[in-house]
Homo-oligomer: A and B are copies of this chain.
Amino acid sequence: MLVKTHAAATAAECDDVRERIEAIGARVRGVNANGRTVLICAGDTAALRRLRLESMSGVESVFDIPQPYKLAARNGSADTIVRIPGPTPTQIGGRTFTMIAGPCAVENLTMLRTTATAVGAAGANLLRGGAFKPRTSPYAFQGLGEAGLEMLGQVRAETGLPVVTEVMDARQIEAMLPYVDVFQVGARNMQNYTLLAELGRIRRPVLLKRSAAATIEELLLAAEHILAPGNGDVILCERGVRARETKTRNTLDIAAVPVLKRETHLPVIVDPSHAAGRSDLVLPLSLAALAAGADGIMVEVHPHPAEALSDGDQSLTPSEFRALTAAIAALAPLLGREVPAVLEPVRAA
């Protein structure tokens, strides 16, 4: 059950409501939403209804939310649009179709700058690139760490592209804040709940990737772990699930896009690069994502894929990426979508 208080409700009124709920053994958690307190109650629904909380002072309205993801659930609400202030303000959600592109990992300043400049000129709206890389083998390249963050910060200043990069551990958040516009949670950490809770306590958008083993409900509940502590800026990302097929790295669950758009108000993007694991499938899967209703894509681009330190097989060249953005720009209007204008690079004077 959700209890929405009046904007003018006092702290004492909120406390009264909370106490009445706890008195019957239910659990309650307060969330700040647009300046008012929303109380999420979990417990015996019938008993909660008998409390008639809607008649208490300070309460505006009371809702039953049948889904276990109380805050993520659509329930008739409008699309959440996640605003990314960044060096150049942009957004994910609404009528915009957002394109995030960049290398799998930050390898050095030159390649990052080359890639960022190329993808920005081709129409990318945000730059992706990993500084901390979760790798299946402990002997593989693990990313440049803080040096990589600094390179992201420098290229962000030069190109004006906001930066999306992966956080693997709650202890990294503090150091990342100066460089990062969107924190990415990788598929392998989708159920790392202590990390999600910490991200729920900051004010910075979070891009949450679906685990290859997770159901749609589990993805929405993972999002709820970020929403519940108070961070409402969550972007969901479908990147393929595990099935039996071996000609692709994962099986892109394209139906998850329209299902998620019905289940939640949060924006939904697709990562065709990790889903396919093959660069030749990125174009058709990106167009399929647009056609199925996604709010954007996240694509790996590398100036020389054959020399990439990770994920070379699935990286586009800059010219392949230009062909992709052109195809999307042509189709998007027919699907009711706008593609943001190409940025003028904000080079340091």
Q: Which stretch, A11-19, A156-164, A185-193, A296-304, touches the partner chain B?
A: A185-193
Flag A279-298 by CB within 8 Å of B: 1 or 0 each: 01100110111111100000
Q: Which stretch, A89-97, A115-123, A210-218, touches the partner chain B?
A: A210-218
* Contact sample, A vs B, 20 pairs, CB 8 Å cutoff: A29-B139, A42-B139, A136-B191, A136-B218, A138-B221, A169-B194, A188-B191, A188-B192, A188-B193, A189-B191, A192-B192, A216-B245, A252-B253, A254-B254, A255-B285, A288-B291, A288-B292, A291-B331, A331-B331, A331-B335
Contact yes or no, A253 B255, CB < 8 A = no
Contact yes or no, B292 A284, CB < 8 A = yes
Contact yes or no, B251 A255, CB < 8 A = yes
Q: A197 to B212: give the CA distance in the assembly, Å.
A: 23
Q: A247 to B258: give the CA distance in the assembly, Å.
A: 11
Residues on A facing B (Cβ under 8 Å)? 27, 29, 40, 42, 68-70, 134-140, 168-171, 188-189, 191-195, 197, 211-213, 215-218, 221, 224-225, 228, 241-248, 251-259, 262-263, 275-276, 280-281, 284-285, 287-293, 330-331, 334-335
The 4 closest A-B pairs by CB, nearest first: A213-B213, A188-B191, A287-B291, A291-B291
Contact yes or no, A244 B241, CB < 8 A = yes
Q: A213 to B134: give the CA distance in the assembly, Å.
A: 16
Contact yes or no, B27 A139, CB < 8 A = yes
- Which residues of chain B are near A217, meaning CB under 8 Å? 247
CB distance from A270 to the nearest CB of B (A): 10
Pick from A191, A215, A216, A330 the residue with the most CB of B within 10 Å.
A191
Contact yes or no, A254 B288, CB < 8 A = yes
- Which residues of chain B are near A292, meaning CB under 8 Å? 284-285, 287-288
Contact yes or no, B245 A242, CB < 8 A = no
- Which residues of chain B are near A216, meaning CB under 8 Å? 245, 247
Pick from A138, A281, A291 the residue with the most CB of B within 10 Å.
A138
Q: A27 to B192: give the CA distance in the assembly, Å.
A: 30
Q: A140 to B68: give the CA distance in the assembly, Å.
A: 10
CB distance from A15 to the nearest CB of B (A): 20
- Which residues of chain B are near A280, meaning CB under 8 Å? 258, 262
Contact yes or no, A213 B242, CB < 8 A = yes
CB distance from A272 to the nearest CB of B (A): 9
Q: A281 to B242: give the CA distance in the assembly, Å.
A: 21
Contact yes or no, A70 B252, CB < 8 A = no
| A211-B213, A218-B136, A284-B292 known; A243+B246 contact, CB < 8 A | no
Q: A40 to B169: give the CA distance in the assembly, Å.
A: 26
- Which residues of chain B are near A254, meaning CB under 8 Å? 252, 254, 285, 288
Contact yes or no, B291 A135, CB < 8 A = no
Contact yes or no, B285 A213, CB < 8 A = no
